[in-house]
Structure 1
Amino acid sequence: MNPQDLPWDVQAPFIETVTVGPEHLDAFGHTNNVMYLGWLEKVAWAHSCALGLDFAAFQRLGSGCVARRHEIDYLAATFVGDQLALATWVHENDFRLNMWRRYQIIRVADRKIVLRGQTQWVCVDMKSGRPKRMPPEFQIYKPWPRAEAVGA
């Protein structure tokens, strides 16, 4: 199955896949909620790198993005062996300080949406850690077009 063919909230999001392993489980026998947060960070970082803004670029520009707020809705449990498609896209960007990135995780086998979430990212000075206006290079973080037939 092509991950692009899954029921995403936007057209053609950035996608990576993971397979749930025993190391990802909690005492209930399903994927631990902390694992999902790590996967969201992983796909966000991969997307940023794919756009050309890796950590070396952040250092060169003296600006980077740090998480200010996470919102996660866990919609279904996942288990060992489940292949998950992780998607992300930029939902909003004021091109000053704040950018909102959204996420969706779908279990590939049954096309079930298991998570929706979003993170508010804030541009900061790499040396001081203080908020800093986004450099022009951050214009690459453009909001994604929404799918017409699917509501998020």
Structure 2
Amino acid sequence: MSVDWQSGLLFPDAFTSHLTVAASDIDAFSHVNNAVYLKWMNDCAMEHSASVGLPAEACVDLDRGMAVRETRLVYQRPARLGDGVIIANWVTFNDGRLRANRYFQVARASDHQTLLLGASKYVCIALSTGKPARMPDVFAKAYQVEPGLQRRLVADAGLRAELII
């Protein structure tokens, strides 16, 4: 799903998920628990994969999946019960062989304030063995970096330095 650049998201052409913070997301400190953000990011990545023709069932049929190797999160503001939240993600790297990266931004819908920035590095694995394996061509095509984002990442050293992974 495309997002209006004015929405407060870092980059255009994000795939986004939208949700409302539920009571089950809240911890003893009356804000969204840190582990919930990670679940939201994973769910958004899975929804994005399905939207480009790679739902979990297709990955199982191909005996391939993208496994998280490393994730970094920077929490900036809390989300609270009832807040509308936008989870955005962009594929920022794909070598077409084994590795891909996604960048995430979680923002409050009402004021577009960034709540969290995150990044995950993935490696393609054979689901049957759990070992690294070359990604199928369909993965290389489905997880391409948007040309505009690619140009911006290549041209802007300052932006690359700000990204957390």
Q: Shared topology, TM-score over 0.5?
A: yes
% identical equivalent positions: 31
Q: Does 1:15 align with 2:16?
A: yes
- What displacement does 1:56 show? 1.5
Which stretch of structure 1 is more off in the superposition, 138-147 or 41-50? 138-147
For residue 11 of structure 2, give the secondary structure of its aligned residue in structure 1.
coil
Residue aligning to 2:145: 143
Instruction: Structure 2 unaligned segments of length 5 or more: list them.
Output: none
What code does the residue aligned with 1:142 have? Q
Q: Higher relative contact order at CA 8 Å, sep ≥6: structure 1 or structure 2?
A: 1
Q: Does the CA contact (< 8 Å) of 2:17 and 2:87 recur in 1?
A: yes
Give unpaired runs (5+ residues) of structure 1. none
| Per-residue deviation, 1:102 | 0.8
Instruction: Say which SS state the counterpart of residue 50 (structure 2) adopts.
Output: helix
1:77 Cα offset (Å):
0.7
Instruction: Give me the whole-angstrom Cα distance separating, in 2, the residues matched to 1:104 and 1:50.
Output: 19
For residues 36 and 88 of structure 1, what CA distance do their matches in structure 2 show? 13
Provide the C-alpha distance between the structure 1 equivalents of 2:60 and 2:33, rounded to a whole number of angstroms: 33
Instruction: Answer yes or no: is the 8 Å Cα contact 1:3–1:85 preserved in 2.
Output: no
Tell me the alpha carbon deviations over residues 82-133 of structure 1, each in whole angstroms, 9 at most, x when there is no partner.
1001101101011111110110011011110111101111100111110001
Moved over 6 A (4+): none
How far apart are the structure 2 equivalents of 1:13 and 1:3? 6
The count of aligned residue pairs is 151
- The TM-score with structure 1 as length reference comes to 0.92
CA distance in 2 between counterparts of 1:32 and 1:136 reads 37
Q: TM-score, normalised by structure 2?
A: 0.85
1:106 corresponding residue in structure 2: 107
In the alignment, is residue 74 of structure 1 matched against residue 75 of structure 2? yes
Q: Is the 8 A contact 2:74 2:117 kept in 1?
A: yes
The Cα RMSD (Å) is 2.0
Q: Does 1:47 align with 2:48?
A: yes
Q: Distance in 1 between matches of 2:100 and 2:85?
A: 25
Q: Whose helix proportion is higher, 1 or 2?
A: 2
Residue type matched to 1:14 in 2?
Answer: F
1:3: Cα distance to partner? 5.5
